[in-house]
Amino acid sequence: MGPTRKPNVCSRLSRRALGCFSRDAGVVQRTNLGILRALVCQESTKFKNVWTTHSRSPIAYERGRIYFDNYRRCVSSVASEPRKLYEMPKCSKSEKIEDALLWECPVGDILPNSSDYKSSLIALTAHNWLLRISATTGKILEKIYLAPYCKFRYLSWDTPQEVIAVKSAQNRGSAVARQAGIQQHVLLYLAVFRVLPFSLVGILEINKKIFGNVTDATLSHGILIVMYSSGLVRLYSFQTIAEQFMQQKLDLGCACRWGGTTGTVGEAPFGIPCNIKITDMPPLLFEVSSLENAFQIGGHPWHYIVTPNKKKQKGVFHICALKDNSLNENVLTVTASGRVVKKSFNLLDDDPEQETFKIVDYEDELDLLSVVAVTQIDAEGKAHLDFHCNEYGTLLKSIPLVESWDVTYSHEVYFDRDLVLHIEQKPNRVFSCYVYQMICDTGEEEETINRSC
């Protein structure tokens, strides 16, 4: 068999215009992404730093939108210069947004309002309000008051784009209570909601009387994950817990009598009572020991990723089959520092004396593995973003980052179709954002825009 022909972008575009593909929308989408992948990786394509900005508050990125001022100001990254989408009114410190998730309209669902078909930002404020905000205008579309009895701080997807988990800060108890030797048995709370329209599943307490000396807990894909200081990780079915231990079903916006108090569920000052209280140890699904509780589960068939529970193994991850705990030899071991990333056929390895891998990520739409490699030159580090074929590990493209890279700072790098974005946190809470866009190399130098957004 002769060599495989390299896909020709012009040929693909012509075939698409003539309707030579299946009418299946998925085929057209895959074809479009294949065209974009070819454009990204061709030699003449460059990624240029088109603008840079700095901020005194954290900077976040999500699908073409850059968020400033604790998510109150949104700027589009899909432009050659910053374009403000919206800016919410200034607020007090107690009203600031502490965490947020981007919700996108599900395909095929019939929704109650026309505004529901557009993306929304689900936001958690410092004073325990859960908000749904229009991702295009910043208008508040829905709001729920969570509870007065704890401080909620973190948002995460239980089931992506369908169910969210709102996690409270850990209950350390007051200094007076600790001095008096009074133990706080409830470690934290997890509030679970289905999204759009918001509907309450329940609020669950994690109690040390039931789980023992638990140090943390979270919810993912319907699984309650409970963690211990020894490195032990235990998994329970949240559905089983809710069915067995829910004291009373609560509906948002409905009147409720709880503990001698009457109020409306989800409205201030009543909020949402904790209606799932475990009284006996629920059935255990699975347990494993992992260093620093590093644990992830997923895939088909089910696999989990853990770090062996030994200090010398820090940064090493093993991928094991859930059914029998066997180590998967095909994908084997990955290190957090980027020392070795083993693909099915090829090995990516760095030379610590010359360059090190700092960030490794996978761009699922273009099927590319992106690797940030840093070279230390005297006191200054220089970085480049490399794109590798996900199937074979072959280097397809290397993009130099013009800014210096200090390995002591915190860094995030996003590769999103035709965009590369680098967010850097410097000392004294100074945040910088560098935006690179894919351009055709015309041989002309263009001035980089430096803006304070």
Q: Which residues of 185-198 are buried (b: 16+ CB within 10 A; e: fewer)?
A: ebbbbbbbbebbeb
Residue, of 246 and 30, whose pLDDT is higher: 246
Q: How far apart are alpha carbons 207 and 214 in whole angstroms?
A: 8
Greater confidence, 116 or 268? 268
Torsion of CA 398, 401, 407, 412, to 10 degrees: -90
Q: Is the pLDDT of residue 7 over 80?
A: no
446 burial level (CB within 10 Å; 0-12, 13-18, 19+):
exposed
CA 30 vs CA 22, 224, 366: distances in Å: 11, 35, 9
What pLDDT sits at residue 10? Answer: 64
Within 13 Å, how many C-alpha atoms sit on residue 352's CB side?
A: 4
Whole-number mean pLDDT of the chain?
85
Strands 419-426 and 295-298: unpaired
Spatial separation of the C-alpha atoms in residues 156 and 220, rounded to whole Å: 8
- In this predicted structure, the answer to whether residue 144 has a pLDDT above a threshold of 80 is yes
- pTM here? 0.83
Residues with Cβ within 8 Å of residue 410, at least 6 apart in sequence? 424, 425
d(CA 426, CA 434) in angstroms, rounded, equals 13
Residue with tokens 């919700």: 103
The pLDDT assigned to 33 comes to: 84
| pLDDT of 399 over the 60 cut | yes
pLDDT greater than 50 at residue 299? yes
**CA-wise closest residue to 331 among 350, 303, 355:** 303
Q: What is the pLDDT of residues 98-130, one digit of tens each?
A: 999 999 876 667 777 777 778 899 999 999 999
Confidence at residue 211, expressed as pLDDT on a 0 to 100 scale: 95
Position 11 scores a pLDDT of 65
pLDDT tens string 45-67: 999 999 899 999 999 999 889 99
Give domain limits for the chain.
91-293, 299-344
Which residues, 6+ apart, have CB-to-CB distance to 217 below 8 Å? 187, 188, 190, 206, 211, 224, 225, 226, 227
What six digits make up the tokens of 238?
């949240």
Residue 443 above 90 pLDDT? Answer: no
- In this prediction, residue 449 carries a pLDDT of 57
pLDDT digits (tens, 9 = 90+) for 349-379: 555 557 788 888 888 888 899 999 998 876 7
Q: Taking a C-beta distance cutoff of 8 angstroms, is the pair 51, 449 a contact?
A: yes
> Above 80 in pLDDT, residue 386?
yes
For the chain, percent of residues with pLDDT exceeding 70: 83
pLDDT classification of 194: cutoffs 50, 70, 90: very high
